[in-house]
Structure 1
Amino acid sequence: MPLADHLTIRSARPGDETGMSMVLTEVLTDWNSTRPGDPAHVLAAYIGHPDRVDCAVCEGPDGAVGFQSLRLALPGNVYEVEPGWGIIGTYVRLDMGRQGIGQALFAHNLRAAQAAGLSWIEATIGADNLRAQAYYDAMGFQTYRPDDGAVRKRCAVSRLMENLI
Protein backbone atom coordinates (compact mmCIF):
# COMPACT_ATOMS: atom_id res chain seq x y z
CA MET A 1 0.00 0.00 0.00
CA PRO A 2 1.54 3.35 -0.98
CA LEU A 3 1.87 6.02 1.68
CA ALA A 4 -0.72 8.80 1.47
CA ASP A 5 0.50 12.04 -0.12
CA HIS A 6 0.08 14.02 3.11
CA LEU A 7 2.49 11.73 5.02
CA THR A 8 6.29 11.76 4.93
CA ILE A 9 8.97 9.42 6.31
CA ARG A 10 12.35 10.63 7.53
CA SER A 11 14.95 9.91 10.20
CA ALA A 12 13.93 11.22 13.61
CA ARG A 13 15.97 14.03 15.13
CA PRO A 14 16.00 16.06 18.34
CA GLY A 15 12.83 18.13 18.41
CA ASP A 16 10.67 15.16 17.33
CA GLU A 17 10.40 13.73 20.85
CA THR A 18 7.16 15.48 21.84
CA GLY A 19 5.18 14.23 18.84
CA MET A 20 6.72 10.77 19.06
CA SER A 21 5.91 10.71 22.78
CA MET A 22 2.25 11.34 21.99
CA VAL A 23 2.24 8.34 19.63
CA LEU A 24 4.09 6.13 22.10
CA THR A 25 1.90 7.11 25.06
CA GLU A 26 -1.27 6.31 23.08
CA VAL A 27 0.07 2.88 22.12
CA LEU A 28 1.34 2.10 25.63
CA THR A 29 -2.02 3.10 27.12
CA ASP A 30 -3.76 0.74 24.69
CA TRP A 31 -1.41 -2.04 25.85
CA ASN A 32 -2.05 -1.22 29.53
CA SER A 33 1.71 -0.82 29.81
CA THR A 34 3.54 1.08 32.52
CA ARG A 35 6.60 1.65 30.33
CA PRO A 36 7.69 5.29 30.11
CA GLY A 37 6.58 7.30 27.10
CA ASP A 38 7.46 10.87 28.04
CA PRO A 39 9.49 13.10 25.68
CA ALA A 40 12.73 12.75 27.67
CA HIS A 41 12.45 8.95 27.45
CA VAL A 42 11.73 9.09 23.70
CA LEU A 43 14.76 11.32 23.15
CA ALA A 44 17.05 9.00 25.13
CA ALA A 45 15.62 5.61 24.14
CA TYR A 46 14.86 6.19 20.46
CA ILE A 47 16.23 9.40 18.95
CA GLY A 48 19.53 9.57 20.80
CA HIS A 49 20.10 5.95 21.77
CA PRO A 50 23.79 5.05 21.42
CA ASP A 51 22.98 1.74 19.65
CA ARG A 52 20.65 3.40 17.15
CA VAL A 53 20.94 2.30 13.54
CA ASP A 54 18.04 4.60 12.61
CA CYS A 55 14.71 5.74 13.93
CA ALA A 56 12.19 6.58 11.24
CA VAL A 57 9.30 8.93 11.95
CA CYS A 58 6.14 9.34 9.87
CA GLU A 59 4.72 12.85 9.88
CA GLY A 60 1.37 14.17 8.80
CA PRO A 61 0.11 17.75 8.70
CA ASP A 62 -0.43 17.72 12.47
CA GLY A 63 2.86 16.05 13.46
CA ALA A 64 4.07 12.52 14.15
CA VAL A 65 1.67 9.66 13.45
CA GLY A 66 4.15 6.81 13.85
CA PHE A 67 7.76 5.83 14.30
CA GLN A 68 9.99 2.79 14.12
CA SER A 69 13.22 2.26 16.01
CA LEU A 70 16.06 0.09 14.74
CA ARG A 71 18.98 -0.60 17.10
CA LEU A 72 22.09 -2.69 16.90
CA ALA A 73 21.98 -5.64 19.29
CA LEU A 74 25.07 -5.62 21.49
CA PRO A 75 26.19 -8.38 23.88
CA GLY A 76 24.01 -8.40 27.00
CA ASN A 77 21.09 -6.50 25.42
CA VAL A 78 17.85 -6.63 27.39
CA TYR A 79 16.03 -8.64 24.70
CA GLU A 80 18.79 -11.27 24.46
CA VAL A 81 18.93 -10.73 20.70
CA GLU A 82 21.95 -12.17 18.94
CA PRO A 83 24.75 -9.56 18.95
CA GLY A 84 25.10 -7.94 15.54
CA TRP A 85 21.42 -8.29 14.68
CA GLY A 86 18.95 -5.42 14.57
CA ILE A 87 16.27 -4.87 17.21
CA ILE A 88 13.12 -3.25 15.86
CA GLY A 89 10.05 -1.67 17.44
CA THR A 90 7.12 0.01 15.69
CA TYR A 91 4.52 2.44 17.04
CA VAL A 92 1.65 3.94 15.01
CA ARG A 93 -1.27 6.03 16.23
CA LEU A 94 -4.25 3.75 16.70
CA ASP A 95 -6.48 5.76 14.36
CA MET A 96 -3.86 5.67 11.58
CA GLY A 97 -3.57 1.91 11.07
CA ARG A 98 -3.86 0.25 7.66
CA GLN A 99 -2.67 3.32 5.75
CA GLY A 100 0.77 2.05 4.71
CA ILE A 101 2.60 3.81 7.54
CA GLY A 102 4.17 0.68 9.02
CA GLN A 103 5.21 -0.55 5.59
CA ALA A 104 6.84 2.80 4.73
CA LEU A 105 8.63 2.97 8.09
CA PHE A 106 9.94 -0.55 7.58
CA ALA A 107 11.15 0.19 4.03
CA HIS A 108 13.13 3.15 5.43
CA ASN A 109 14.69 1.07 8.21
CA LEU A 110 15.33 -1.93 5.98
CA ARG A 111 17.56 0.30 3.85
CA ALA A 112 19.28 1.52 7.03
CA ALA A 113 19.78 -2.09 8.14
CA GLN A 114 21.39 -2.99 4.85
CA ALA A 115 23.64 0.09 4.96
CA ALA A 116 24.72 -0.87 8.50
CA GLY A 117 25.56 -4.41 7.38
CA LEU A 118 22.89 -6.13 9.48
CA SER A 119 21.98 -9.64 8.35
CA TRP A 120 18.96 -10.18 10.64
CA ILE A 121 16.36 -8.05 12.40
CA GLU A 122 14.36 -9.27 15.39
CA ALA A 123 11.07 -8.08 16.84
CA THR A 124 10.06 -9.23 20.32
CA ILE A 125 6.28 -8.87 20.61
CA GLY A 126 3.92 -9.41 23.51
CA ALA A 127 2.11 -12.74 23.10
CA ASP A 128 -1.25 -10.97 23.38
CA ASN A 129 -0.38 -8.24 20.83
CA LEU A 130 -2.01 -9.84 17.81
CA ARG A 131 -2.02 -6.58 15.83
CA ALA A 132 1.78 -6.29 16.04
CA GLN A 133 2.26 -9.99 15.26
CA ALA A 134 0.15 -9.60 12.11
CA TYR A 135 2.11 -6.49 11.10
CA TYR A 136 5.49 -8.20 11.41
CA ASP A 137 4.17 -11.27 9.57
CA ALA A 138 3.06 -8.98 6.74
CA MET A 139 6.54 -7.42 6.64
CA GLY A 140 8.10 -10.86 6.14
CA PHE A 141 9.14 -11.77 9.69
CA GLN A 142 8.83 -15.35 10.90
CA THR A 143 8.43 -16.69 14.43
CA TYR A 144 11.64 -18.51 15.29
CA ARG A 145 12.16 -18.76 19.03
CA PRO A 146 9.83 -19.42 21.96
CA ASP A 147 9.86 -16.96 24.82
CA ASP A 148 7.83 -16.65 28.00
CA GLY A 149 4.99 -14.19 27.34
CA ALA A 150 6.40 -13.00 24.02
CA VAL A 151 6.64 -13.96 20.38
CA ARG A 152 10.06 -13.55 18.80
CA LYS A 153 10.14 -12.93 15.07
CA ARG A 154 13.07 -12.38 12.74
CA CYS A 155 13.71 -11.54 9.12
CA ALA A 156 16.74 -11.84 6.87
CA VAL A 157 17.65 -8.38 5.60
CA SER A 158 19.01 -9.62 2.25
CA ARG A 159 15.87 -11.60 1.47
CA LEU A 160 13.59 -8.66 2.18
CA MET A 161 15.80 -6.22 0.26
CA GLU A 162 15.26 -8.37 -2.83
CA ASN A 163 11.51 -7.83 -2.44
CA LEU A 164 11.92 -4.10 -1.82
CA ILE A 165 13.94 -3.37 -4.95
Structure 2
Amino acid sequence: MITVRRAGPLDARPMANLLNEIIAEGGTTALTTPVSPQDLRDWMQSDTNVSAWHIAEDEAGDVLGFQLIKPEAYLPDEAVDIATFAKVGRVKMGIGSKLFEKTKEAARQLGYRWINANIRADNSGGLAYYQSRGFEDYAMKRGVILDSGEAVDKVLKRYDL
Protein backbone atom coordinates (compact mmCIF):
# COMPACT_ATOMS: atom_id res chain seq x y z
CA MET A 1 0.00 0.00 0.00
CA ILE A 2 1.20 3.49 -0.87
CA THR A 3 0.54 6.43 1.41
CA VAL A 4 1.10 10.08 0.50
CA ARG A 5 1.72 12.92 2.91
CA ARG A 6 3.29 16.36 3.00
CA ALA A 7 7.08 16.18 2.96
CA GLY A 8 9.10 18.02 5.58
CA PRO A 9 12.73 18.74 6.49
CA LEU A 10 13.18 15.32 8.13
CA ASP A 11 12.39 13.67 4.77
CA ALA A 12 15.25 15.43 3.01
CA ARG A 13 17.81 12.62 3.37
CA PRO A 14 15.73 9.78 1.84
CA MET A 15 14.43 12.18 -0.82
CA ALA A 16 17.99 13.23 -1.72
CA ASN A 17 19.05 9.57 -1.90
CA LEU A 18 16.16 8.77 -4.26
CA LEU A 19 16.84 11.83 -6.42
CA ASN A 20 20.57 11.09 -6.59
CA GLU A 21 19.82 7.57 -7.90
CA ILE A 22 17.73 9.14 -10.67
CA ILE A 23 20.44 11.72 -11.45
CA ALA A 24 23.10 8.97 -11.59
CA GLU A 25 20.97 6.93 -13.99
CA GLY A 26 20.58 10.01 -16.22
CA GLY A 27 18.20 10.90 -19.00
CA THR A 28 15.04 11.68 -17.05
CA THR A 29 15.80 14.84 -15.11
CA ALA A 30 17.39 18.16 -15.99
CA LEU A 31 19.44 17.83 -12.79
CA THR A 32 22.90 16.52 -13.56
CA THR A 33 24.78 16.89 -10.28
CA PRO A 34 24.00 15.17 -6.97
CA VAL A 35 21.96 17.01 -4.35
CA SER A 36 22.44 16.99 -0.60
CA PRO A 37 19.73 16.71 2.04
CA GLN A 38 20.50 20.35 2.91
CA ASP A 39 19.86 21.34 -0.72
CA LEU A 40 16.40 19.82 -0.48
CA ARG A 41 15.70 21.42 2.91
CA ASP A 42 16.74 24.80 1.47
CA TRP A 43 14.49 24.32 -1.58
CA MET A 44 11.54 23.30 0.61
CA GLN A 45 11.96 26.29 2.92
CA SER A 46 12.54 28.89 0.18
CA ASP A 47 8.99 28.85 -1.17
CA THR A 48 6.88 27.63 1.77
CA ASN A 49 3.84 29.84 1.12
CA VAL A 50 3.71 29.22 -2.65
CA SER A 51 4.89 25.62 -3.03
CA ALA A 52 3.95 22.13 -1.86
CA TRP A 53 5.99 18.96 -1.47
CA HIS A 54 4.48 15.47 -1.11
CA ILE A 55 6.15 12.15 -0.45
CA ALA A 56 4.93 8.61 -1.22
CA GLU A 57 5.89 5.78 1.13
CA ASP A 58 5.28 2.06 1.38
CA GLU A 59 4.02 0.26 4.51
CA ALA A 60 7.55 0.17 5.96
CA GLY A 61 7.97 3.94 5.54
CA ASP A 62 10.42 3.62 2.64
CA VAL A 63 10.27 6.55 0.22
CA LEU A 64 8.91 5.48 -3.17
CA GLY A 65 8.75 8.93 -4.73
CA PHE A 66 8.02 12.59 -4.25
CA GLN A 67 6.40 15.42 -6.12
CA LEU A 68 6.63 19.16 -5.76
CA ILE A 69 5.05 22.26 -7.17
CA LYS A 70 6.69 25.66 -7.06
CA PRO A 71 6.49 28.91 -8.99
CA GLU A 72 9.00 29.63 -11.74
CA ALA A 73 9.95 33.05 -13.12
CA TYR A 74 9.02 32.09 -16.69
CA LEU A 75 5.44 31.23 -15.69
CA PRO A 76 2.56 33.65 -14.98
CA ASP A 77 1.44 34.05 -11.36
CA GLU A 78 -1.57 31.77 -11.96
CA ALA A 79 0.69 28.83 -12.88
CA VAL A 80 3.01 26.57 -10.92
CA ASP A 81 5.69 24.14 -12.09
CA ILE A 82 5.63 20.45 -11.16
CA ALA A 83 8.41 17.91 -10.72
CA THR A 84 7.91 14.20 -10.05
CA PHE A 85 10.50 11.66 -8.94
CA ALA A 86 9.86 7.92 -8.50
CA LYS A 87 12.32 5.40 -7.10
CA VAL A 88 14.41 3.73 -9.80
CA GLY A 89 12.82 0.40 -10.67
CA ARG A 90 9.51 1.27 -8.99
CA VAL A 91 7.74 3.24 -11.73
CA LYS A 92 4.29 2.21 -12.99
CA MET A 93 3.15 1.18 -9.52
CA GLY A 94 0.63 3.98 -8.93
CA ILE A 95 3.11 6.19 -7.07
CA GLY A 96 2.70 9.11 -9.47
CA SER A 97 -1.08 8.81 -9.53
CA LYS A 98 -1.36 8.98 -5.75
CA LEU A 99 1.09 11.89 -5.57
CA PHE A 100 -0.74 13.86 -8.25
CA GLU A 101 -4.07 13.66 -6.42
CA LYS A 102 -2.52 15.42 -3.41
CA THR A 103 -0.56 17.85 -5.58
CA LYS A 104 -3.67 18.97 -7.51
CA GLU A 105 -5.44 19.60 -4.21
CA ALA A 106 -2.49 21.64 -2.91
CA ALA A 107 -2.23 23.67 -6.13
CA ARG A 108 -5.91 24.62 -5.89
CA GLN A 109 -5.53 25.55 -2.20
CA LEU A 110 -2.55 27.75 -3.07
CA GLY A 111 -4.70 29.57 -5.67
CA TYR A 112 -3.08 28.34 -8.87
CA ARG A 113 -5.18 27.91 -12.02
CA TRP A 114 -2.90 25.57 -13.94
CA ILE A 115 0.15 23.32 -13.52
CA ASN A 116 3.11 23.36 -15.89
CA ALA A 117 5.30 20.32 -16.55
CA ASN A 118 8.71 21.02 -18.11
CA ILE A 119 9.95 17.62 -19.39
CA ARG A 120 13.03 16.53 -21.27
CA ALA A 121 11.90 15.54 -24.77
CA ASP A 122 13.96 12.33 -24.49
CA ASN A 123 12.18 11.31 -21.23
CA SER A 124 9.52 9.04 -22.72
CA GLY A 125 8.40 7.84 -19.29
CA GLY A 126 7.90 11.38 -18.01
CA LEU A 127 6.08 12.44 -21.16
CA ALA A 128 3.75 9.42 -20.88
CA TYR A 129 3.16 10.03 -17.17
CA TYR A 130 2.06 13.63 -17.59
CA GLN A 131 0.01 12.80 -20.70
CA SER A 132 -1.82 10.09 -18.72
CA ARG A 133 -2.68 12.64 -16.01
CA GLY A 134 -4.35 14.89 -18.61
CA PHE A 135 -1.53 17.36 -19.32
CA GLU A 136 -1.54 18.79 -22.85
CA ASP A 137 1.45 19.97 -24.89
CA TYR A 138 1.56 23.73 -25.38
CA ALA A 139 5.18 24.65 -26.17
CA MET A 140 8.68 23.34 -26.86
CA LYS A 141 12.05 24.67 -25.69
CA ARG A 142 14.89 23.71 -28.02
CA GLY A 143 18.55 23.37 -27.09
CA VAL A 144 18.22 23.91 -23.33
CA ILE A 145 21.71 23.70 -21.84
CA LEU A 146 21.90 21.61 -18.66
CA ASP A 147 24.49 22.16 -15.90
CA SER A 148 26.51 19.33 -17.46
CA GLY A 149 26.75 21.26 -20.73
CA GLU A 150 24.45 18.82 -22.53
CA ALA A 151 21.79 20.40 -24.76
CA VAL A 152 18.30 18.90 -24.63
CA ASP A 153 14.89 19.82 -25.95
CA LYS A 154 12.08 20.26 -23.44
CA VAL A 155 8.34 19.76 -23.86
CA LEU A 156 6.03 22.04 -21.89
CA LYS A 157 2.71 20.51 -20.86
CA ARG A 158 -0.21 22.18 -19.13
CA TYR A 159 -2.88 20.87 -16.76
CA ASP A 160 -5.82 23.19 -16.08
CA LEU A 161 -7.16 22.95 -12.54
TM-score range, shorter chain: 0.7 to 0.9
CA distances 1:29-82 after superposition (whole Å, capped 9, x unpaired): 12255234221111112x323264210001121521100011134xxx2xx222
Contact 1:72/1:84, CA 8 A, preserved across alignment: no
Quote the Cα distance in structure 1 between the aligned partners of 2:158 and 2:123.
16
- Residue matched to 1:105: 99
Quote the Cα distance in structure 2 between the aligned partners of 1:131 and 1:35.
21
Quote the Cα distance in structure 2 between the aligned partners of 1:17 and 1:81.
26
Quote the Cα distance in structure 2 between the aligned partners of 1:38 and 1:115.
29
- Residue matched to 2:3: 8
Q: CA RMSD in A?
A: 1.5
- Residue matched to 1:50: 47
Asked whether 1:19 is paired with 2:18, we answer no
- Residue matched to 2:82: 88
Q: Can you give the 5+ residue segments of structure 2 that lack an aligned partner in the other structure?
A: 143-152
Asked whether 1:122 is paired with 2:116, we answer yes
- Residue matched to 1:30: 25
After TM superposition, give the deviation of residue 127 of structure 1 in Å: 1.2
**Residues matched between the structures, number:** 146
Quote the Cα distance in structure 2 between the aligned partners of 1:63 and 1:142.
32
TM-score normalised by L of structure 1: 0.82
Percent identical among aligned pairs is 28
Quote the Cα distance in structure 1 between the aligned partners of 2:160 and 2:57.
28
Asked whether 1:150 is paired with 2:154, we answer yes
Moved more, 60-69 or 130-139: 60-69
Quote the Cα distance in structure 1 between the aligned partners of 2:113 and 2:39.
28
TM-score normalised by L of structure 2: 0.84
Asked whether 1:66 is paired with 2:81, we answer no
Question: Does the residue aligned with 1:96 lie in a helix, a strand or coil?
Answer: coil
- Residue matched to 1:160: none
Q: Can you give the 5+ residue segments of structure 1 that lack an aligned partner in the other structure?
A: 158-165
Quote the Cα distance in structure 2 between the aligned partners of 1:151 and 1:96.
24
Quote the Cα distance in structure 1 between the aligned partners of 2:97 and 2:45.
23
